[in-house]
Structure 1
Amino acid sequence: MRQALLIIDIQPSFSPPDWLVEGVRRLLPRMASVATVERHDEARTPFQRQLGWAPGPADACLLPVDRVFIKHGYLPSAETIEHLRALGPERVLVCGLQTETCVLAAGFMLFDAGLTPTLLSDLTVGSSLDRTGKLGTDLWRHHFGAVTTAAEALDS
């Protein structure tokens, strides 16, 4: 099965756990990889004004991926989605940080673009509201159906 990997916001500002970074790193040699990095620009997204917090203005992806796309806010950029479409995957595996917000937002964009988003439930971490990611995984399953693990994805 042709798969692409979309990695959401594994960057210093979000302090990803080592197990997450290493788990995603093991997948990189097996498929095309694309990552998003959240950068702060208050003129575009009012994180500081509304939430009292903002990601770093110069964060970089913590993984050696094929392509990195900068985003401002919860959604991946249109360029990210177009790049993934051009790869022609049968499904896009999604992992990373903030399962119920940024990861879920990526799922909606992928779905609306006609792609098949598939959550890697063992390679996501939820927000401070639910660090387990269960809420986001349940929402993902409800909206998109496709949830798997890294081991299952590699067996496909």
Structure 2
Amino acid sequence: MRQVLLIVDVQSTFSPPEWLVDGLRSFSAGIPTIASVELHDEQATPFQRQLGWHPAAEDENLVEADKVFVKHGYGPTRETLDYIKQLNVERVLVCGIQTDTCVLAAGFALFDAGLCPTLVTDLTVGSSLDRSGQLGIDLWKHHFGQVTTRAEVLAELDAARG
């Protein structure tokens, strides 16, 4: 199956747990990987004005990726979506930080772009509202249906190799 891994906002600003960073590093080694990094630009997204908080103006992705896209806000950029569409993949594996906000926003954008977003449930962390990520997982199942785990994807890759 042609697929790409999209890692959402695994960067210092959001203090990802070490198990997530380590898990993503080993998982992404065998799959084409892209990542997003959320940077603050108040002119693009009014985090400070509306929420009294904002991500860092400079930060970097903590997991090696083939391509990294900067975004200013919750969802992926048009450039990110166009890049993924050019890859002609059957599904986009999505994981990362804030299952119930930024990861979910990526799911909506991918779905609306005609792609097949699939959440990797054990490689995601929720927001401060629900650190377990279960709220985001439940919303993902409701809206997109497609969820998987790291073990299921690795088993599929092993079976495809032969």
Same fold at TM > 0.5: yes
Report the equivalent of 2:46: 46
Q: CA deviation at 1:29?
A: 1.9
For residues 54-94 of structure 1, the C-alpha deviation after alignment (integer angstroms, 9 at most, x for no partner) is: 11101110111000000000010011011111111111000
Report the equivalent of 1:18: 18
Amino acid at match of 1:61: N
Q: Secondary structure at the match of 2:102?
A: helix
Runs of 4+ in structure 1 off by over 4 angstroms are none
Q: CA deviation at 1:152?
A: 0.4
Report the equivalent of 2:120: 120
Q: Secondary structure at the match of 2:101?
A: helix
Report the equivalent of 1:30: 30
Q: Percent identity?
A: 63
Aligned residues: 156
Q: CA deviation at 1:135?
A: 0.3
After superposition, residues 50-129 of structure 1 pair within 5 angstroms as 50-129=50-129
Report the equivalent of 2:6: 6
Q: CA deviation at 1:52?
A: 1.1
Amino acid at match of 2:117: P
Q: Which runs of 5+ in 1 are unaligned?
A: none
Q: Secondary structure at the match of 2:81?
A: helix
Alpha-carbon separation, structure 1, partners of 2:29 and 2:140:
26
Report the equivalent of 1:149: 149
Q: CA deviation at 1:105?
A: 0.5
Alpha-carbon separation, structure 2, partners of 1:69 and 1:96:
14
Bigger shift: residues 11-20 or 83-92: 83-92
Alpha-carbon separation, structure 2, partners of 1:97 and 1:153:
19
Q: CA deviation at 1:44?
A: 1.0
Bigger shift: residues 138-147 or 81-90: 81-90
Report the equivalent of 2:160: none
